[in-house]
Amino acid sequence: MRGWQGRALVFDASRSSSKVWEYGGEFALSYIGGRGFTARILWDLLPQGADPLGPDNLLVFAAGPLTGFPGPGPSKLVVAAKSPLTGGYGDGNVGGLAAVRLRECGFDALVVRGAAPKPSVLVVEDGGARLEPAEDLWGLDAYECERRLRERYGKGAGVLLIGPAGENLVPLATVVCEGGRSGGRPGIGAVMGSKRIKAVVFLGGGELKAADPKGLRRVAAEAYREVSRRPSYGLWLRQGTMAAVRWAEENSVLPVMNFSEGVLEDVSRIDGHALERLKVRLRGCPLCNSPCGNSIEVDGKLAELDYEGVAMLGPNLLIEDLRDAARLSLLADLYGIDSIGLGVVLGFAMEARERGLLSEAPEWGDVRGALELAEDIVYRRGELGELLSRGVAYASLKLKADEFAMHVKGLEVTAYDCHAAPGMALAYGTSPIGAHHKDAWIISWEVNNDRLGYTRAKVRKLIEQQRIRGGLFEFLVACRLPWVELGLSLDWYLKLLKAATGVSFTFEQLWEAADRVYALIRAFWIRERGEWSRLMDWPPRKWFEKPLTRGLLRGAKLDPDGYSAMLSWYYEERGWDERGVPRRSTLEKLGLEDVASTLEGVVGLSP
Ligand code: PTT
Ligand code: SF4
């Protein structure tokens, strides 16, 4: 095999022993890489019903066949586990040197099972792995810990780590690196903490062999050139994802006051232009020529900013100044907690205070109060810190406040208000990890196309996006932003894939693999929960019950009958039954006969 390394390392942290799993060409062609690998590995190797924070859970890191080769944005990997936040399949995507070095260690994936007896660093080298003591690192924030790791292992090492949130098993904890990269919103950082692994260090050093190295270098050079010629390249380098703040506000989709409104009175203090005025650094993932890591300085440190974090920790809390939102975002990166999840639980607490349910929570716009509460959440301090640290689904259950809890399947909603966006609501409803835009950012299409309609055309568009974003990009694993933001044609990825692996993939093959992995992930959820209903795919109640009161779309809210019709069409198009369970015939068509027999015993299958 070329392009793939053909091997995964399975490390048992309880016994400090490793095994190499050599997988064959059929596995590679069916699951391709990244999320395809993590989903299949979790289905096959995770004991059914495993406690997400127990030693039986698996922490899986998987790169793809483009990772580490030249090309636009190929230094990414998928981190996955059974989620302690949702109880279902959870994954995320992190960019950085770690992805490249993992592959240079001779592996496409690393699977960690068990738990180390004491705080450790997992060091992965060509051919194997070992645990090294990390008592001196436990408790450190992510920036300081990474600085020390680089002193110990060298500047060129690939590093993934957790902050105090992961150590404290906060289910909103992510895996972080390089002072501004984060992945694994469904609590993957807490899974790493439960294994007492403060950091994974990939030393790399080996070679990546492409099927056609010369051809790969040529195609990559052409693709890089194409990226830099795109009309939006200049704006992208200046503002990155922060350009979306103004766009979201203009289109009434900016989350404001815990997703109560979609517009702000004055967005100019917190938008991409505000970033341009304060920006002190731009950097990106390795091998990327469209860097998007924009930093400003706050409290003597650099805070790397992106749309999601700023929207959720700014307007969503009625904090309207970029520096204030950046303070909260920096705290999230130092402590290794998801900025989106943090924004949702803080917004929930502020609204609960307004409604007279939580007198000790901060008021809207109270930056100091939000910073203090965020620390309490990370350290699970006090009753409120402990309550919110478990995520918004748990907190709302305790407070009987489901009507303003912004989540799907237990994962907090990302930064797009959906009162007037039924397609995006369905994207959140059907995302395979809970409310996340990563699989389908249909909102940008929807605001220009039949915005308020509930149509089958929207459902088809959504599935098309899920195949590209949740499939192609999460399999390869390549950054999707050159395609989304700069309009790079998808054809480049087929060319890169051919040169890397020698296989002439067609889009149809990739879409079939995406459908296979979607069905498999849904099966994982059903197996682990032991039951299923279409309510699991239902967006937050607030968007149906409490209309927007400001902006051009005031009065807008979602229609439950319209949403239900779209959900039924979605199931039909996917070959799933009215409960949202894949049909036997669908699973068989996708080559998942073994999955069908397991599910039959759990919920029964429709033909
Ligand atoms: C992603 C989610 C996002 S989506 C953002 S900003 W975005 C938030 N980033 C956080 C952060 O930072 N620190 C923190 N403590 N928490 C954070 N939570 C939020 O996590 C990121 C970029 C971005 S910036 C996006 S959209 C794209 N995501 C990609 C993806 O998912 N797949 C893919 N093939 N390519 C992608 N390219 C882009 O990468 P999750 P990163 Mg992230 C600081 O992980 O769990 O999926 O949640 O990966 O390396 O930081 O790059 O406006
Ligand atoms: Fe990384 Fe941004 Fe480049 Fe994507 S566009 S590879 S997230 S720097």
pTM over 0.95: yes
Percent of the chain having pLDDT more than 70? 100
Pair (198, 236) in one structural domain = no
Name the domain boundary from 159, 186, 202.
202
Q: Is residue 49 a part of any domain in this protein?
A: yes
* Residue 286 placed within a domain: yes
Q: What is the pLDDT of residue 163?
A: 98
Q: Is 90 exceeded by the pLDDT of residue 287?
A: yes
d(CA 567, CA 601): 25
pLDDT of residue 127: 82
Give the Cα separation of 170 and 172 in Å (integer). 5
Domain-located, residue 73 = yes
Residue 125, pLDDT score: 95
Q: Which helix (H) or strand (E) holds 464?
A: helix 456-466
Q: What is the mean pLDDT of residues 548-567?
A: 98
Burial of 511 (0-12, 13-18, 19+ CB in 10 A): middle
Give me the amino acid identity at 59.
Answer: L
CATH no. for residue 317?
1.10.569.10
The strand order across the sheet containing 17-22 reads: 17-22, 7-12, 109-113, 59-62, 76-82, 89-95
Q: Give the Cα separation of 114 and 97 in Å (integer).
A: 26
- Give the position, in ligand 2's atom list, of the atom nearest the Cα of 479: 4
588 pLDDT above the threshold of 90: yes
CATH number at residue 570: 1.10.599.10
Q: Is the shortest distance between the CB of 180 and ligand 2 below 6 Å?
A: no
Give which of 246, 292, 316, 278 is closest to 482, Cα–Cα: 292
Q: Does residue 215 fall inside a structural domain?
A: no
Domain that holds residue 259: 231-415
Residue at 115 is within a domain: yes
Q: Tens of pLDDT along 107-137?
A: 999 999 999 999 999 999 988 999 999 999 9
What pLDDT was estimated at residue 126? 87
Give the count of domains, the chain.
3
Residue 516 in domain: yes
Assigned token pair, 605 = 């299958």
Strand positions, DSSP E, 134-276: 158-161, 175-177, 181-183, 197-202
pLDDT of residue 193: 98
Task: Find out whether 102 and 110 touch, Cβ atoms under 8 Å.
Answer: yes
Q: How far apart are alpha carbons 353 and 257 in whole angstroms?
A: 12
What mean pLDDT do residues 176-198 have?
Answer: 97
* 176 and 303 inside one domain: no
For the segment 146-174, what is each residue's pLDDT rounded down to a tens digit? Answer: 999 999 999 999 999 999 999 999 999 99
> pLDDT tens for residues 411-447?
999 999 999 999 999 999 999 999 999 999 999 999 9
State whether 243 and 379 are in the same domain. yes
* Alpha carbon nearest to ligand 1 atom 11, residue: 182
Burial of 49 by CB count in 10 Å (0-12 exposed, 13-18 middle, 19+ buried)? exposed
Mean pLDDT along residues 74-81? 97
- 595 contact partners, CB below 8 Å, separation of at least 6: 43, 519, 520, 523, 587
Q: Is residue 470 located within the same domain as residue 380?
A: no
Do 186 and 297 share a domain, yes or no? no
Ligand 2 pocket check for 290: Cβ under 6 Å? yes
For residue 207, is it within any domain? Answer: no
Does residue 285 line the site of ligand 2, with CB under 6 A? yes
Ligand 2: nearest atom to the Cα of 75: 6
User: Is the C-alpha dihedral spanning 230, 234, 237, 241 positive or negative?
Assistant: negative
**Residue 498 maps to a domain:** no
- CA–CA distance, 253 with 417 (Å, rounded to integer): 4
> Are 125 and 168 within one domain?
yes
Do 101 and 140 lie in one domain? The reply is yes
Query: Do residues 186 and 284 both lie within one domain?
Result: no
Q: Which of 93, 172, 328 has most ligand 1 atoms within 8 Å of its beta carbon, as the pocket-test mutant? A: 93
pLDDT of amino acid 36: 98
